[in-house]
Chain A
Amino acid sequence: DQQVKQNSPSLSVQEGRISILNCDYTNSMFDYFLWYKKYPAEGPTFLISISSIKDKNEDGRFTVFLNKSAKHLSLHIVPSQPGDSAVYFCAAHNQGGKLIFGQGTELSVKP
């Protein structure tokens, strides 16, 4: 049972354009959502998060949007840079401490 889903395994974007990464979840008990960036053979690094009481959180080039009714969140990167190329994971937390990750989306930003 995949409770957090990233249906696009890969995304290719031109440098300077917007990257939009999507994530869906099924469990309404999740109340905190996070995005991580990961390079091969390394641990993921935290990017940005959002609480379920908000619908948007912005940090520099990164913005996360949450649509609770649709159980959907997205990460926008504007403008995209070649150094953003990596695998991006969304994750969801519940009050019991469980932290579930999606399958990841590999972003490639081309110069």
Chain B
Amino acid sequence: SQTIHQWPATLVQPVGSPLSLECTVEGTSNPNLYWYRQAAGRGLQLLFYSVGIGQISSEVPQNLSASRPQDRQFILSSKKLLLSDSGFYLCASSWGANTEAFFGQGTRLTVV
């Protein structure tokens, strides 16, 4: 199986500050990578996914961006955080289209 490393576990950031969340994957090569957000009491919203280095698909127009500088590294960024960016951010990895995805433990982001 794959191991997904996400950090930090919790983060409190002021409005207008930048953000960088990093996700790295062990146990596979050339995975599909995903960033999701779960707002309080809501479902898992797909933010970005990547099928290869430098290939990023954005699902929701928003204040965030993603990059994949290396095969097993996926980064979620923002230049200026908004209050509405608060939530639980999850990184996931899968071997391909028709396989299960494995998730990291998530980052709880609170924008104050």
Contacts and interface: CB of A to CB of B under 8 A. Distances in A.
Given A32-B97, A89-B43, A98 B106 contact: no
Nearest to A5: B43
- Most chain B CB inside 10 Å of its own CB: which residue of A51, A89, A99: A99
Q: Interface size bucket, A side? A: 20 to 34
A77 B38 CA distance: 25
B98 A101 contact: no
Interface stretch (A13-21, A37-45, A66-74): A37-45
A93 interface: yes
Given A97-B49, A99-B46, A102-B43, A44 B97 contact: no
Nearest to B45: A101
Contact of A51 (B92, B98, B101, B108): B98
Contacts of B4: 43
A46 B49 contact: no
Interface string B93-112: 01011111111111010000
B98 A99 contact: no
A34 B34 CA distance: 16
7 contacts: A42-B105, A43-B92, A46-B102, A91-B101, A96-B51, A98-B57, A99-B46
Interface of A: 6, 31-32, 34, 41-46, 49, 51, 89, 91, 93-104
